[in-house]
Structure 1
Amino acid sequence: MEFIKGVTFGYMSQRGEWEKEEAFESLRLLKERCAITHVILGVVAEQETIHATQIDWQDVSVLSDQEIKKMITFAQEIGLKVILKPMVNIADGMWRAHINFFDHDVPCEPKWSDWFASYTTFITHYAQIAEDTNCTMFVVGCELVNSDRREKEWRQVVSAIREIYKGLVTYNCDKYQEDRLTWWDAVDVVSSSGYYPIDKWEQELKRIEKVVEKEQKPFFFCEAGCASRTGSKWLPNNWELEGSVDSSGQKEWYEEMFRQTDKYDWVQGFGLWDWKSKLYPIQKSDTDQDYALYGKPAESVIKFYFDKNKKT
């Protein structure tokens, strides 16, 4: 696997948004301003609650297949390699990690078997798009922490994906879960969400290193980022953290993350979080508290790092 200089693009985009010229211009600016070689396209579908068993990936709000394919083609035309990442969110605002059911099926209660049946239909649909458009990698799941223990079902999901998609396959586990997954051997690439506190990178990388050594597979951070908000550098995974704008804190976090990860050759890239398909005016970048990178000091740190990094 080549080194991934990537950023996640278009998370939470709704149907029609990737058909607009501003979305293509946003991706072009991302490549130019951050020196990326890869883009992770996040396609989001929802289920009603954490106990729902139906994923509404055919809802009218979800990006259409046509616009997804068109964005993939455009990314490739401007020289980017594409990682396709279908994601499940919860309509009521709960985090996908909390999707959960009884370990053993009970009549009249929602079941893992029903959820995985729906999930397999959802994820294989996008695997076919990834295959048809020659995507470099496919992400079979993201931060579905409570489901991680369902090893048998996940192996079946990966097997179904491989019947369709012939490229590299990864699962994006959540932070702190890298050494808990028992089915890394089923995928080609180990990846996780690197939302670690600015002062904890060294200890977490040493922990993850043991997983990489055991699995003997490539590793990258499929997500990694920090909001430009006071306190976020100490708790970057808390997107609900209250505070004022702190672009310098976000910049410091990226500098430290790159400094620490550079010590380990097995860290083979990033899918940094994130870049919107509809950008705010750049003159308002100093008022944005989100993870977004556009126009902020962290953007320059990323461009410098990706420009100088010649790893392959």
Structure 2
Amino acid sequence: MNWNEKFYGVNFAPFPHRGTLAGEAARRSMADMAEATGANWVILSPSGVQATPYSEEIDWRTDATPTDEELCDAIRFAKQLGLQVALKPTVNCANGVWRARISFFDHDVPCETKWSGWFASYTAFQTHYATLAQAEGCGLFLTGCEMTMTEHRETEWRTLIAAVRQQYHGPVSYNCDKYGEDHVAWWDAVDCIASSGYYPLNDWENQLDRIEAVSKQFGKPVLFSEAGCMNITGSSAVPNNWELNGSRNDLEQAGWYETMFHACAKRPWVLGFGVWDWPADPRTQSSYAVSGRPAAKVIQNAYHGGILE
């Protein structure tokens, strides 16, 4: 896969419930996002839901997931704005356990749920959206996010990616968790290495040195398809800790982004970023959101050549 331009993206309205992407408010917010950040990509992440990390069945037809019509309308509107669209169907657990904990016995045990049943359901989930991505002309398909305890099942992942490619003919990747880039053995099966770039402010150079070795090993560029920091004092030291409490600190969030962009600008193998995040409704934005905050200006400056070019 030959990438002709950098990926300057934003994760818009992550894991939207039914109705979140519909209507003029969400359209206005997406248009504001494109203008405020200068992004050329938007990442949309419809969520499938399983009851617990040990459940086999994944459901993407409940109110926790936008309808196909709603999602397609959002894709079409993004393209009207001049944005390319990456689709990242992501599974989450209804009981609130992080998806990285999804796991089963590596040997089949009677009366216990099994990898085979889960991968069958996960493949149905992914290929459903791969078909939609092909029909709507999405520019990238990410086969999930931060599925850390599934990644050693190399045969199943290769089979899944092959099934996705049967439905979607564009570039395909997978979003591993931070610190996980060198723990995936099957990067050769995808078109770029994708990762969640929640690295501490003072550790970006060390982590980029480590990740560069993976990029060279597989001959693939690296996309930080998630990258973010909360606007809370102390978050820049532990940006992956979404449970951190503290005082509001917009400048710390902005400074974290500036440090990340400066560090990555020196690494030509970094394909780009998916900022986490921009909400459909800024009135209900999370601490990670950059809408209406100084971080948005830093992102715009980076995406338009002030830092990255």
Q: 1:210 corresponds to which residue?
A: 213
On the 8 A contact 1:245/1:289 being kept in 2, the answer is no
- 3-state SS, counterpart of residue 283 of structure 2: coil
The corresponding residue for 1:277 is 280
Written as runs of structure 1 = structure 2, the 5 A alignment for 1:146-157 is: 146-157=149-160
- Give the stretch that moved more between structures: 242-251 or 175-184: 242-251
Q: 2:194 is matched with which residue: 191, 194, 197? A: 191
Q: Please say if residues 246 and 289 of structure 1, whose CA atoms lie closer than 8 Å, have aligned partners that are also in contact.
A: no
Give identity over the alignment, percent: 47
1:162-213 deviations in Å (ceiling 9; x for gaps): 1110000000000001011000011111110000000100000000000001
How many equivalent residue pairs? Answer: 306
Report what 1:167 is aligned to. 170
Q: CA separation in 1, counterparts of 2:207 and 2:267?
A: 12
**1:229 and 1:289 in contact (8 A); partners too:** no
Aligned residue for 1:236, secondary structure, equals: coil
Listed one character per residue, the Cα deviations across residues 111-144 of structure 1 (whole Å, up to 9, x for unaligned) are: 1111101000001000000000010000011000
Q: In the aligned structure 2, how far is the partner of 1:309 from the partner of 1:94?
A: 39
CA contact (8 A) 1:244 1:289 kept: no
Cα distance in 2 for partners of 1:246, 1:101 equals: 40
The residue identity in structure 2 corresponding to 1:167 is G
2:148 equivalent in structure 1: 145
Q: 1:135-159 CA distances to partner (integer Å, 9 max, x unpaired)?
A: 0000011000000000000001000
| Segments ≥4 residues shifted beyond 4 Å | 309-312
Aligned to 2:25: 22
1:113 aligns with 2:116: yes
1:180 paired residue number: 183
Alignment of 1:5-84 (within 5 A): 5-84=8-87
What SS class does the counterpart of residue 182 from structure 2 fall into?
coil
Amino acid at match of 1:64: T
Residues 284-310 of structure 1, C-alpha deviations (whole Å, 9 max, x = no match): xxxx76100011111110011111169
For 2:282 and 2:23, the matched residues in 1 are separated by 12
Partner of 1:221: helix, strand, or coil? strand
Which residue pairs with 1:104 in the alignment? Answer: 107
Q: Displacement, 1:249?
A: 1.0
CA contact (8 A) 2:39 2:303 kept: yes
Aligned partner of residue 27 in structure 1, secondary structure: helix
Distance in 2 (alpha carbons) for counterparts of 1:133 and 1:278: 24
SS at match of 2:142: strand
2:231–2:251 Cα contact (<8 Å) kept:
yes
- Is contact 2:49–2:64 with CA below 8 Å preserved after alignment? no
TM-score of the aligned structures, taking structure 2 as reference length:
0.96
Instruction: Give the AA of the match of 2:46.
Output: V
* CA RMSD after TM alignment: 1.4
Letter in structure 1 aligned against 2:223:
F
- 1:298 and 2:301 are equivalent in the alignment: no
Contact 2:228 2:276 in 1 (8 A): yes
Shift of 1:42: 1.3
Cα distance in structure 1, aligned partners of 2:140 and 2:232: 32
Deviates more, 1:31-40 or 1:240-249: 240-249
1:66-103 deviations in Å (ceiling 9; x for gaps) = 01111101101110000001111111111000001101
Deviation at 1:311, TM superposition (A): 7.4
2:289 partner amino acid: A
Q: State the shift of 1:54 in Å.
A: 0.7
Deviates more, 1:198-207 or 1:236-245: 236-245
Tell me the equivalent position of 1:285.
none
- The secondary structure found in structure 2 opposite 1:5 is strand
Cα distance, 1:45 vs structure 2: 1.8
- Alpha-carbon shift at residue 223 of structure 1 (Å): 0.5
Q: 1:238 maps to what in 2?
A: 241
